[in-house]
Chains A and B, each alone.
Chain A
């Protein structure tokens, strides 16, 4: 099963819910609408045998420098990236002539803030019911880049303290001047 086959199956199943695709990239991916994420992921696990969720990454596309912003090549937005791999489908790797690993990437594009209101986190449906390992990954993405996963059993900060303000890996994050009486910078 090649990446092109996977993308063709997803397109025949979900049609317009898949907004972008690339089968030639090093990590072939599709971009899906946030509302369809859960069903696409369930289809990928049950029908296409992607049993393993390697990682979830939050990406903040923003050029904080106003001068460089027009040349940045993207509109300000956020992205959540899911890296999947399969245990049961092992295509032959042509370089080594041994069973390789089938990988696939699902991306979800989100606004930086929900409804454009600063402070309201963008929402993405949780995939914890599909891959149990997603629980801590989603907590980390929420902690550092500020994406709210609806349906997560306990979405709290995982690395930073519970009373921390802001999400540090956002490009426009401002460092705290003080935290509980300790100088921050």
Chain B
């Protein structure tokens, strides 16, 4: 707005409609109460007076997905909960954002190896915008995560560039994508191909005897 600034009276502000919408939206994120485990305690601390997420306009914690546009997944998501997480995400109105708070939601955390019942990262269930690692993260870290969400909202260009491309759910399957020469519709044959490839690579890697 460089060339327009200073051409009007004081207390008149010039902006574009798009920036105005983004400003309004980023300044009043409505998070959904989504405490699943111990990280929820830290999320409550962020909402309370000492850290006070309300300073950044995201203090209106909603108990229903229909009134919220930010989902802070705080705590371990287990297999039984995963379908509920996805359903609640689907019930939120667009545009919607997800913060994965804590090590468990980022990638399984301490339950990665022996947690038979824990989803190894909530991004296997819903698309995640911002990851906040930590076990649990400090309240400042969650505030930082909120600010990254606000950056994202500020960068959205609805009117000039259209709607954001919708991210498929889940955005990441968690399965390794094989190169076409090693892939096969039959899993047994695919495994054979991969094992042969791995063996060949190992032979190539062994140093030749002098």
What residues of chain A lie closer than 8 Å to B80, measured between beta carbons? 160-161
Question: Which residues of A lie under 8 Å from residue B124 when comparing CB positions?
Answer: 182-183
Whole-angstrom distance from the CB of A178 to the nearest CB of chain B?
9
Q: How far is the CB of A66 from chain B (nearest CB, A)?
A: 21
Q: Are B83 and A180 in contact (CB under 8 A)?
A: yes
- Stretch of A5-13, A40-48, A109-117, A168-176 on the interface side: A168-176
Q: Does A179 lie at the interface of the complex (its beta carbon under 8 Å from any beta carbon of B)? A: yes
Nearest-neighbour CB distance to chain B for A71, whole angstroms, equals 24
CA distance A180 to B80 in the complex (A): 10
Do residues B116 and A183 form an inter-chain contact, with CB atoms below 8 A?
A: no
With A173-B116, A175-B116 known to touch, is A180 a contact of B82 (CB < 8 Å)? Answer: yes
Name the interface residues of B85-117: CB closer than 8 Å to any CB of A.
Answer: 116-117
What's the tally of chain A residues with a CB closer than 8 Å to chain B? 13
Q: Which of B82, B116, B173, B175 lies in contact with A176, CB distance below 8 A?
A: B116
Residue interface bits B66-93, CB-to-A below 8 A is 1, else 0:
0000000000000110110000000000
- Would A185 and B79 count as touching, CB distance under 8 A? no
Tell me, rounded to whole Å, the shortest Cβ–Cβ distance linking B42 to chain A: 25
Complexed CA–CA distance, A160 and B79 (Å): 8
Write the nearest CB–CB distance from A157 to chain B, whole angstroms: 10
Q: Given the complex of chains A and B, what is the CA–CA distance between A182 and B169 in angstroms?
A: 11
CA distance A179 to B125 in the complex (A): 12
- Whether the pair B120, A168 counts as a contact (CB closer than 8 A) is no
Residues A168 and B117 in contact in the complex (CB < 8 Å), given A182-B124, A182-B125, A183-B124: yes
Most buried by A among B83, B117, B173: B117
Considering the complex, give the chain B residue whose CB is closest to the CB of A179.
B79
B142 within 8 A of partner (CB): no
Whether B175 lies near A183 (C-beta < 8 A) is: yes
Most chain B CB within a 10 A radius of its CB, from A179, A182, A185: A182
A-facing mask of B1-21, CB < 8 A → 1, else 0? Answer: 000000000000000000000
Q: Report B115 CB to chain A, min CB distance, Å.
A: 9
CB distance from B127 to the nearest CB of A (A): 14
Contacts of B40 in A (CB 8 A): none
Within 8 A of B (CB), among A3-49: none
- Closest chain A residue to B120 by CB distance? A183
- Asked if B174 is at the interface of the complex by the 8 Å CB criterion, the answer is yes
Identify the interface centre among A175, A176, A179: most chain B CB within 10 Å of its CB. Answer: A179
Q: Does B119 contact A (CB under 8 A)?
A: yes
Kindly state the separation between the CA atoms of A164 and B117 in the bound complex, as whole angstroms.
10
Report yes or no: A161 in contact with B116, Cβ–Cβ below 8 A: no
Residues of A within 8 A of B83 (CB): 180
Q: Provide the bound-state CA to CA distance between A183 and B122, in Å.
A: 11
Contact of B174 among A168, A180, A183 (CB under 8 A): A183
Q: How far is the CA of A183 from the CA of B176 in the complex (A)?
A: 11
10 residue pairs, one from A and one from B, having the closest CB atoms: A183-B174, A161-B80, A168-B116, A179-B79, A175-B116, A182-B124, A182-B82, A182-B119, A183-B124, A183-B175
Q: Besides the contacts A182-B124, A183-B120, A183-B173, what 10 more A-B pairs have beta carbons closer than 8 Å?
A: A161-B80, A173-B116, A175-B116, A182-B79, A182-B82, A182-B119, A182-B174, A183-B124, A183-B175, A184-B116
Residues of B within 8 A of A (CB): 79-80, 82-83, 116-117, 119-120, 124-125, 173-175
19 contacts between A and B (CB under 8 A): A160-B79, A160-B80, A164-B79, A168-B116, A168-B117, A173-B116, A175-B116, A179-B79, A179-B82, A180-B82, A180-B83, A182-B79, A182-B82, A182-B119, A182-B174, A183-B175, A184-B116, A184-B120, A185-B120
